[in-house]
Every structure is written in C-alpha cells, then in structure tokens.
Structure 1
Amino acid sequence: MSNSWQEAKEVLHTLKKNGFESYIVGGAVRDLLLNREIADVDIVTSATPDEVATIFLKTFMMNNQHETIIVRLNQLHFEVTTIRGETLTEDLKRRDLTINSLALDDEGEIIDLVNGEKDIYAKVLRSIDPQERMSEDPLRMLRVARFVSELGFEVDVELRDTLVRKKHFLKKVAIERITKEWIKLLKGDHRNSAINLLVETGMYEELPDLLLNKDLLEQFTNVGALKNESETICWAIHCLCIGANDETPLKQLLLSKERLRGVSSRLSYYKNRKKNEWTSLELYQASIQVALDVEKIRSLLKEKIIPFQELNLMWEALPIHNRSELAVSGRDVLRFFKKEQGPWLKEVLSLAEHLVVTRHCRNDKHAILQALEKRSDEL
C-alpha cells in the first residue's frame, strides 16, 4: 500500500479515538480492489469540520457546501467530509456509482451496501436510482464515460437509458468541470469505448464548447495512447482532431493562459514540421521540450518522426540554448554602437542569436560585435 493509504488509516484511528465514526470511501477503495494506483484518499466522518479542526494540528477549511476540511498529516493532504445524511448507509447510497459506494473502516474491513464489489468484478457501471443520481449533478454522466475510458467497464442498461434521457442537463455544467473530465477521458486506456458511448447516447451533442461531432470523434479513435502525455499535448491533439490549426477553439474553455501558450507553440511548430525538417534555428527557437512534444504529437497521429535521441543530439550540438548563454549582453551592444536603448536592441540581440545558432559567427563577444557591425545597415 502507498504511504498515503497508511497515513489515511492514521487519520481514521485518530478520529475513532476521539469518538467519531470515520471511513475511507469512494475511488480509493475501488482502486484498492482493482489493484490500481491510488491517487487520492477521501474520508468521511461523523465529525463536523469544526470538530475535525480541533483534533488535528494542521487543517484548512474548504469554502464549499459539502462540509469538507483538508487535514494535513506528514506532508500529505486528505479531504475529510462530514457524512451526508443521517448515516453512512445513506451517504453511500447517494454516491454516483456502486463501484464508488464502498467504504473501508479503520480495521481494514470493506463495507459494501450496494453490491459495488460485485459490480467491480463483473466490470459493470451501475447506479442506485440513476435518474436521481445523474440529476443531482449532471457532470456524473460525463464521469460515467470517463470511467468507461479508464476501466473498460460496461454500462448497465438502466444507467445507459438515463444518460440518453438526461443528457441535456450536461449543458448546465460549468465548462471548467467538463474540461477536466474530458482530458481524463482522453487519457484512458479504453478511450475508444468511451467515445462510442458518447456517440451512442448522444452525450457529445450536449458538450458544444468542445466542438465535437460524430466525424470528428472518429478522429480521436485513431490517436495513439495518451495515458502518459501532458495536458498540453492532449489539448493540442484535441485541436488537431477537430480540424483546428491553432489554439483558438480552446479560448472558450477557460484554460489558463500558460496552457494556451503551450498549446499554441506546439501547434505552430507542428504546422511547420509538416513541411520541413528541424533546422538548428527552429530547434533553438522552439526549445527542446516543445520540439520533443511536436515529435510526440506526430507519433500519436501515426506520422513519421525524428527519433527522440537524434533530436536531443541536435539540441546538445547547438552553440547556445538560450539568450543568457550569448557572449554579448544588451549593455555590450549599447556601448559598442553608442546608441540609446530602444526597440532596435531586441532586434539586434535576436540577430546575434541567429548568427551564433546558424554558425555564421562564433559565440565570442568580439566576433559577434564585429559581425553585427558588418550588418549595421540592416539595424
């Protein structure tokens, strides 16, 4: 078991010692039974957040309606939530799927009130009162598709019918929540089964901001495995699958500016790479990480690539890797040309980089300044 699991059990023991019921619940118990890596361990307790805060030294109150508090123990963080309803039974029956309705007590005993363990071994996604569960939080419908992608499970007939009937409620879900599930869905080992579910139920029609249709979804099924790829690569793939050459379609998804910039640079160099091999200058301007990502994108789209090792050797062979390694500074240039600082300085330094990277000039202060002087008419 992971360290987080052991620490979580310590949280349970502490709560029990103070007179409160407490259990590990949800995905952590499911993944324990599936022998999958456990990412997050969630805990429910009969204690209120205020009572939890008095028991543990380091806690952080979450500003939400679910009565959740973060407990920090030995550098790890656990979400501790007050049991929903009057009893654990009521709490577990209100969860989205039976496979997520399992609990584990401090003695390591599994509590299964809805045959969730049976559904895990039968590889079935089922819900107790699916219409009620999906209506409570419509994002759960997309989560069903995401679990199909991650686990490869079949969807129970009653739940599938509910997805068809209730899918229009997906339009009410905040786009930030949609995008998180969509990326997880794309990364799953059984992504194509999940995409088939989106098509068969028509759920994709209720995700207008993702700009999907049947033909475009087919493009995703031809992409290589994304499980270990960054979100930036996944969003670049998304753009290419929906026929976009830049990040414009992503701007309505409220992604971070940093993410948009990352996708933009990769798509730009991917577009160039479709016509040309990497040159020293383009590799320098791109950076090795962007270049490797572009080749990874080409690989995922079944296009011919330059082996990563070869690309790394090209990078290592560059005379410089960023402007800070340039043998001249802006101050050197100002002093040499005896001019006031202005926009021209940035252009001169860019030219100096160009000359050094393309080996028209050694990375030596005197050599660079002499080369720039010869081109002074262009400056």
Structure 2
Amino acid sequence: MQSAWKEALHLIQIVERHGYQAYIVGGAVRDWLLAKNSADIDIVTSARPEELGRVFSKTFQMNTAHQTVIVRSNGHLFEVTTLRGATIEDDLCCRDLTINSIALTADETVLDPAGGREDLKLGRLRSIDPESRMTEDPLRMLRVYRFASQLGFAIDEELQKVIHCNKERIRETAVERITKEWLKLLKGPARTAALAELRQSGLHHALAGLAVTDDQLEALAKLPGFEEEASEELVWTAFFLCRGETEVNLGSLALSKASARAIRKRLSYFQLRREAAWSAYELYRASLEVARDVERLRSWFGYSHETDETLQAIWDGLVLKQKSDLAISGHDLLQKGRKPGPWLKKELEWAERAVLSGRLPNDHRQIIAALEERRETE
C-alpha cells in the first residue's frame, strides 16, 4: 500500500507538470485519515481522457460516461477520472457521503469542503443534500449501511429519513451491484448494528434478487462476525441458511458459475452432515476447505461440530486426497477398447470408495482385478 500511495502522489505531480490539476479522492483519503489500508487509490483530474493519453504511455479508457481512464504507472494501476464540475470542490460536493468527499493534493494537503473530517471524528455517516445524492444513484442507499457495517459509524437522522422515503427506488438497480454491496455489508465488523438500522429503513424489502425478510435480517445479525479472510462462498452460504434455504436459485443473484458451484457444494454438505458424520469418502469428495466451512456453519447455527484440528487429522489419514492420487485413471479403464460412457465415472467412483474405506489397497493391479470381477458378477 505504501508504495502504491507514493506512486499515486508521483502520478499527480506528473499530471500537474503538464498543466492540469489532480488529486487523490474518496475512500483512499478516508482510509488514510483513519490510518487504515485501502484497496484502491482513485484520482481525479481536470485533464480529459484524451489529454491523459498524451501524458501517459499506458492508459485504457474504462468508463466513457464518467470519463474514467486506467493509468499504469511503475506496476500500479490507478483509476483517473475527469472532474465533475468546474472545480475540485464541485466534484467533492457531488459525492455520496461527506467522509468520501475529501481530497488530497500532491503535498498531502487535505481539501474538505463538505466537513468530512469532522464526521470521521464523530463516527457519523452524513450527506450534503441527501435527497439528491441518494436518488441520483439509489445504490448509494445500500452503501450507507455497508459503510455503517465496515466502519461502525452512526447514520445521520436526516439521511436515514431520506432512505426510508426513497427506498423503493433501489429496485431499479442491477442485481450485480446489489450483491457486491450486500456481501461487504455482511462481512463488516459492525454488521449487527448496521442490519438493525437497515431494518428500520425498510430498504431490505426492495433489494433486487435478495428478498430479505425481517426475521432473516435478525438471523443474520445473530451470526458471529466473519473473519477478514472468510470466503465469499462461506458468507453467501450462511446467508442462504439464514433464509432457511438449502437449494437456491443462485442465478437470481448474478454470481459467477464458480461461486454458485462452491455455494451449492457447501449447502449440500451442510445437509449431509445433518444426517451423518464425515466418512473418508465424503471428506475426500468435499475437500478439507469445504469441510471446514461446513463445520464453522454448524457451530454458528447451534449444531455439534468438528474442530479444525479433528478435520485435519482425518484428512491427513486419507489414502487419497485428490483424483490423481488413485492408482488407476480413466485411461487405464479404456485400454481394452471399451467406449467412454457413464460407466467410466461409476467405476472410478467405486474404486475411490473401495480404497478410501480400506476394502482395497491403492494398487493398480488389484484395483483393475477387483473392477473386472465386479463386472462379471453384475
């Protein structure tokens, strides 16, 4: 982060040498003032995208509507956006919250026309002209609760009223944008308080793709805090379990196919663990990572659960940990001229079960012989 910050300041100086204004803005400045690390550093400038293309050799225009350009500088990537309005003060006063309406010059002078530093000290989420700020992009209403969850800040009373009165407008927002903010909200350390504020506003009833009830919000609020490294899949699985769902239409949330598969896998093994302990085969099929997530979920929802140490010990004792560990492969079973088909997967799974249960050693010759004998008796 430190090297990226220095490079951002250097980039600003380069822009200024070409006769334009430039500033670090938004969340990066907020986090800098809070002595926190920031994932991204955004820059605004009086230069237009085509002018930035003449200043830097490596640029890519990302967003035509907002005139945003990606600039690569010494291995770092920065989003550089043309100022909205005639001045930096105009730009800052158009932002969602005062704590995100602070800018920094190349010599680290703070520009704060909206009083964001005072709100940071007070731990308050406030907006200048909240009616305009919240309605010009309704996603900002959900972002308020996301910041409340992440920072533990209180929400200004006027802002809360504006959200309550305009909550239905968020139905116009794309589900992809909703789910990103929702995930960040759920992972915040002050999630319980943020969800209580969200419930008062009624905004959760209008969130596209989520359809969260008051009871489900309460269940989410009672969950233990997620670790910083908690995976997206673990958080979403906990969310669906709070909704009482074990089979869900993940397509409605516009999640990636990989994430959807991972969530379904965790939900499936959560159900399996309601009926039985981990067998060697099911642990092998699930993976140690998924099994650990399932046991965490069981502990959160009040079920008996295995510790990480116990799971690790069982895992360490498995003869197989991945498909390539099996002494035979699909290629071996096709050697005698048999055509590929569903039988191939069934025989490999049978062999995995036999080896993991100890009925067969993980030996190529013995597995092949056992499969031939099995075919003859069927």
**Equivalent residue of 2:65, what SS?**
coil
Are residues 49 and 365 of structure 1, via their aligned partners in 2, closer, same or farther at CA, if it must alter by over 3 Å? Answer: same
Give the C-alpha shift of residue 227 in structure 1: 4.3
Deviations 1:77-113 (A, max 9, x none): 1100000011111101111111000000000111111
Give the C-alpha shift of residue 51 in structure 1: 0.9
Deviations 1:54-84 (A, max 9, x none): 1112111113300000011222211000000
Alignment of 1:224-263 (within 5 A): 224-228=224-228, 229-248=230-249, 250-263=250-263
**Equivalent residue of 1:165, what SS?**
helix
**Equivalent residue of 2:81, what SS?**
strand
1-structure distance, mates of 2:331, 2:167:
62
Match of 1:357 in 2: 356
The residue type paired with residue 79 of structure 1 is E
2-structure distance, mates of 1:227, 1:92:
33
Match of 1:24 in 2: 24
CA contact (8 A) 1:188 1:227 kept: no
2-structure distance, mates of 1:11, 1:303:
54
Deviations 1:96-154 (A, max 9, x none): 11100000000011111111100100111111100011111011100001111011111
Give the C-alpha shift of residue 322 in structure 1: 1.9
Match of 2:278 in 1: 278
- Give TM-score, length-normalised by structure 2: 0.96
Alignment of 1:89-128 (within 5 A): 89-128=89-128
Per mean C-alpha deviation after superposition, the further-off stretch among 14-23 and 207-216 is: 207-216
Match of 2:185 in 1: 185
Give the C-alpha shift of residue 2 in structure 1: 2.0
Alignment of 1:150-169 (within 5 A): 150-169=150-169
CA contact (8 A) 2:174 2:208 kept: no
2-structure distance, mates of 1:90, 1:340:
70
1-structure distance, mates of 2:214, 2:344:
51
The residue type paired with residue 244 of structure 1 is E
Match of 2:369 in 1: 370
Are residues 48 and 155 of structure 1, via their aligned partners in 2, closer, same or farther at CA, if it must alter by over 3 Å? Answer: same
**Equivalent residue of 2:209, what SS?**
helix
Match of 2:266 in 1: 266
Match of 1:291 in 2: 291
Deviations 1:252-280 (A, max 9, x none): 11111111110000000011112221110
1-structure distance, mates of 2:303, 2:188:
22
Give the C-alpha shift of residue 378 in structure 1: 5.6
1-structure distance, mates of 2:20, 2:61:
19
1-structure distance, mates of 2:22, 2:340:
66
CA contact (8 A) 1:25 1:104 kept: yes
Are residues 21 and 276 of structure 1, via their aligned partners in 2, closer, same or farther at CA, if it must alter by over 3 Å? Answer: same
Give the C-alpha shift of residue 302 in structure 1: 4.3
1-structure distance, mates of 2:97, 2:63:
25
The residue type paired with residue 239 of structure 1 is F
Alignment of 1:340-355 (within 5 A): 340-355=339-354
2-structure distance, mates of 1:23, 1:63:
19
1-structure distance, mates of 2:7, 2:170:
37
Do residues 144 (structure 1) and 118 (structure 2) align?
no
CA contact (8 A) 1:247 1:260 kept: no
Per mean C-alpha deviation after superposition, the further-off stretch among 339-348 and 40-49 is: 339-348
> How many residues in Structure 1 have an aligned counterpart in Structure 2?
377
1-structure distance, mates of 2:42, 2:334:
60
**Equivalent residue of 2:63, what SS?**
coil
**Equivalent residue of 2:223, what SS?**
coil
Are residues 131 and 289 of structure 1, via their aligned partners in 2, closer, same or farther at CA, if it must alter by over 3 Å? Answer: same
Give the C-alpha shift of residue 9 in structure 1: 0.8
Are residues 378 and 185 of structure 1, via their aligned partners in 2, closer, same or farther at CA, if it must alter by over 3 Å? Answer: farther
Cα RMSD, aligned residues only = 1.5
**Equivalent residue of 1:335, what SS?**
coil
Unaligned stretches of 5+ residues in structure 2: none
1-structure distance, mates of 2:224, 2:131:
35
Match of 1:57 in 2: 57
CA contact (8 A) 2:173 2:208 kept: no
CA contact (8 A) 2:60 2:71 kept: yes
Percent identity over the alignment is 44
**Equivalent residue of 2:128, what SS?**
coil
The residue type paired with residue 341 of structure 2 is G
**Equivalent residue of 2:95, what SS?**
coil
Are residues 340 and 208 of structure 1, via their aligned partners in 2, closer, same or farther at CA, if it must alter by over 3 Å? Answer: closer
The residue type paired with residue 258 of structure 1 is A
- Give TM-score, length-normalised by structure 1: 0.96
Give the C-alpha shift of residue 225 in structure 1: 0.9
CA contact (8 A) 1:8 1:41 kept: yes
